[in-house]
Amino acid sequence: MATLRDVAIAAGVSPATASRALSAPDSVSTARRHRVIEAAERLGYQPNRSAQALASGQSGHVGLVLPDLANPSFAAIAKGVQAQARGSRHSVLVADTDEDPRAELAIVRDLQANVDGLVLCSPRMPEEQIRECAAAGPLVLVNREVDGLPSVTFDSASGVTQALQHLRALGHRHIAYIGGPTSSWSDAHRRRALGSVDGIEVTDVGSHRPIHQGGVAAADLALETGATAFLCYNDLIALGVMFRLRARGVRVPDDVSVVGFDDIGAASYVSPLLTTVAIPLTRAGHEATTMLERLRLDGWDGHAVRLPVELLVRESTRPVPTPA
């Protein structure tokens, strides 16, 4: 493997000049720069990132911590981070915490010691711990807000309001909210908006695991409330709910309407197509990474980014059935 020294010798310059020619082209005369670049290509030179990192104090890596790579929502965020990081010549070190909050802190610490910045997607880590991490290095939160820390979140309160208004316009007056994990920031955030629309009563059906199975379990509870429409913490739950409703012979949307959150791919594969609040996850990955870079260069400007969400009305909601 060719080193910078080899390139320098081949180009007939000193290692210092070779280094500059490749990383600060303007500070080298045109002729030498070309010689160096040509030599580098000829030798197939690939810079040793570890050496660069050690010498410059910049690892060239961005860390990404998330609960579950296989969850389509987090995967979408990862994709966004990845794309944006490559744009700024950074690689992404990804760590899946496997929904294990205990391992999380150790993972974050280890990662943080070896990256230029961290994108942290941890719905459940205690605020205090997050603050601790933020003190240890540049950090941007995704889908979670902590006072005084940079974050990219979604205006899901508005999403809840949009969904509620949509349902009210369809004549629904009693709605069941099928929540996600209590410890999750975004669930708390959404719950707060539950009372934002007049003329609608919302019954809270409690906390459920944010996966298909969680929805299956929640469906019966929601049905018991007598609500004519169900608002779900996320699409996976909504899909689980619809699955169970079908099994019980309850028709969607004829008998009850269902609204999800996230707009994962499957929402447009199922029948009926799921009405859901679309969340720009990939864009959040972009924004977070961009923010991280600014953070490192200029420090934080105190602004948190809150991305707009949009209700996508599809087939799983319709006017409340008129009593026979």
Partner DNA sequence: GAAACAGATGAATGCGCTTTCAACGCGATG
Partner DNA sequence: CATCGCGTTGAAAGCGCATTCATCTGTTTC
* Contact footprint for DNA (CB under 7 A): 1, 3-5, 13-17, 19-20, 22-24, 26-29, 31-32, 45, 47-48, 51-52, 54-57
Decide which of its own copies, DNA, none touches 310; Cβ closer than 5 to 8 Å per partner kind.
none
Q: How far, in Å, CA of 62 to CA of 83, rounded?
A: 12
Residue with Cβ nearer DNA (100 or 110): 110
Nearer to its own copies, 85 or 163 (CB): 85
The yes or no reply on residue 49 touching its own copies (CB under 8 A) is yes
Q: Which residue is it, tokens 């603050």?
A: 131
23 makes contact with its own copies (CB under 8 A): no
> Using the rule CB under 8 A, is 41 a contact of its own copies?
no
150: Cβ–Cβ under 8 A, 6 or more apart, which residues?
139, 140, 141, 291, 295, 300, 303, 304
What's the gap between Cα 28 and its chain centre? 42
| 102/109 Cα distance (integer angstroms) | 12
Span interacting with its own copies, options 85-93, 116-124, 165-173, 226-234, rule CB under 8 A: 85-93
CB of 197 to its own copies, least distance (A): 29
For residues 205 and 225, is the Cβ–Cβ distance under 8 A? yes
208 is a site residue for its own copies (CB under 8 A): no
Shortest distance (Å) from residue 86 CB to DNA: 18
By CB under 8 A, residue 6 contacts its own copies? no
Cα distance between residue 97 and residue 65, in whole Å: 7
- 123 versus 240: smaller Cβ distance to its own copies: 240
- Nearest distance from residue 27's CB to its own copies, in Å? 24
Cite the DSSP H helix spans in 183-263. 185-192, 212-224, 235-247
3 state DSSP class of 174:
strand
Tell me whether residue 195 or residue 265 sits nearer to its own copies (CB atom).
265
Among 25, 269, 308, 319, binds its own copies (CB under 8 A): 269
The closest of 233, 206, 234 to 220, measured between CA atoms, is 206
Q: How many residues does the chain have?
A: 324
Tell me whether the omega of the peptide bond preceding residue 253 falls within 30 degrees of 0, making it cis: yes
CA nearest 121: which of 156, 92, 96?
A: 96
Task: Write out the residues near its own copies by the rule CB under 8 A.
Answer: 1, 46-51, 53-54, 59, 61, 68-70, 72, 75-76, 78-79, 82-83, 86, 91-96, 98, 109-111, 113-114, 212, 239-240, 243, 246, 265-266, 268-271, 282
